[in-house]
Amino acid sequence: MKKTFYIIFILSILLEGCLPSVIKLEVKPDPNPYTMFGKVPSRDFYIPITIGDSLKEKWEKDINGGLTNSSVTLYNSYVFINDLSGWVTCLDLNTGKQLGQLKDKGSIFSSPIIENNILIYPISLNNENYSLLNFYNFRSGEPVFAIKIQDKILSELIHTKDGIILNTLGGKVIKYNFNGSRVWEADTKASTHTSLAMKDNIIIFGNDKGEIVALNAYNGNQIFKKKIGYIFTNNVSISDSTAFLGDKNGAFFAVKIRTGNIKWKIDTGSEIISTPVFNDEIVFIGNLGGKLFAVNKASGKIIWQSELNGVINATPLLAKNYLIVPNLDGELDFVEPATGKIKKRFILPAHVRLSPLYFKNTLFIGYDNGILGAYEIVE
């Protein structure tokens, strides 16, 4: 009996290793896809609708590896999710059925980019100091090409109308067109853990030296580089002409994207890694100490601060009536944006990693044990 079990176990491992690496889909045009982290280059996590305060599970799916603080990307009725074991998995939006997987030897830290029927994602190779930027046609089910990039890619990509822009751990920022040709490359000469954001053809990000850097998106030329804080550890978001970002000491900045001048600054008391979220008047930011802040975008005045139970690592989702805040202790809070009051709290089955994303009446939540859940929000 033990021998039979052992043989079955070994065969299951071998079969798993032989699973086809393919995604092939019947693709229909999607007029409103979600093709990158934050949906747009400026990183916008606001949905201008009123939502209910109850969750009804639609499905859960066990993905191969652990998840990061990224998000799913979506096209039509297809959900694409990356993981740290090097897989990109495609699921049916309505049922959670697995429709295909792509497997690479490395880790994928960035949400995939979708350009029509082309899936674009970077692989950071294990035990190597380079990455591969993969272009895959999920209509034909075949790889298009892969670009070797020296250095690790650990941050989110930007999808533009004529190409993609990425940054590396070593501080290089590179633009490629959709044919895989390099348009420009800029070496900012500083280690960088933050993702890029872009508005009005100005690329903004922070680096490990506490500098904020702006580049011209047309040619990669540097507009400014200014030291304003400590090590920047969170992603940038941009509203109008103001960039928001936080550092390892818990300082939270509003910076003018054309000059790099500080508009205002507040101290949150603990490291910030989640992306700032905003509506027309307020910017919201959480820190690793579990504090959530609402700040007037124009003046920097703190409107309220709220103590949540757990570490805020993933980016919240903002609707008209609720700020949906996950934490690493496995809770999901529905917070009233005007007051900071927790109106409803859900205890989830595991620690939350992915930023919640709402698409076609479905809320997607990803856990650090590699499970992706889809929930309907109801009254």
Question: pLDDT category, 292, cuts 50, 70, 90?
Answer: very high
Nearest Cα to Cα of residue 83 among 314, 369, 325: 369
Q: Residue 14: is its pLDDT beyond 60?
A: no
Strand ranges of the sheet holding 87-92, from the earlier edge strand across to the other edge:
22-23, 98-103, 87-92, 78-82, 73-75
- Residue 185: how many other CB atoms lie within 10 Å: 13
Residue 138 lies in a domain: yes
Residue 10 lies in a domain: no
Residue 167 lies in a domain: yes
Q: Residue 2: is its pLDDT beyond 70?
A: no
Question: pLDDT category, 28, cuts 50, 70, 90?
Answer: confident
Residue type, 253: F
Q: Calculate mean pLDDT across residues 351-366.
A: 92
Per-residue pLDDT tens digits for 37-52:
999 999 999 999 999 9
Q: Calculate mean pLDDT across residues 180-188.
A: 97
Q: Residue 145: is its pLDDT beyond 50?
A: yes
**For residue 288, what are the domain limits?**
20-378
pLDDT value of position 138: 96
Question: pLDDT category, 305, cuts 50, 70, 90?
Answer: very high
**Segment among 29-33, 289-293, 353-357 with least mean pLDDT:** 29-33
pLDDT value of position 361: 86
Question: pLDDT category, 309, cuts 50, 70, 90?
Answer: confident
Per the model's pLDDT, the better-predicted residue between 123 and 310 turns out to be 123
Residue 181 lies in a domain: yes
- Max avg pLDDT among 94-103, 325-334, 361-370: 94-103
CA distances from 332 to 164, 229, 285, 323 (A): 33, 31, 16, 10
pLDDT value of position 34: 94
Q: Calculate mean pLDDT across residues 93-109.
A: 95
pLDDT value of position 23: 97
Q: How many structural domains does the chain have? A: 1
The mean of the pLDDT values for the chain is: 92
Residue 12 lies in a domain: no
Residue 175 belongs to a domain with what CATH number? 2.130.10.10
Residue 121 lies in a domain: yes
Question: pLDDT category, 99, cuts 50, 70, 90?
Answer: very high
Residue 14 lies in a domain: no
Q: Calculate mean pLDDT across residues 70-99.
A: 95
pLDDT value of position 19: 58
Question: pLDDT category, 13, cuts 50, 70, 90?
Answer: very low
Model-level pTM? Answer: 0.92
Q: Residue 4: is its pLDDT beyond 70?
A: no
Residue 11 lies in a domain: no
Share above pLDDT 70 across residues of the chain, in percent, rounded to a whole number: 95
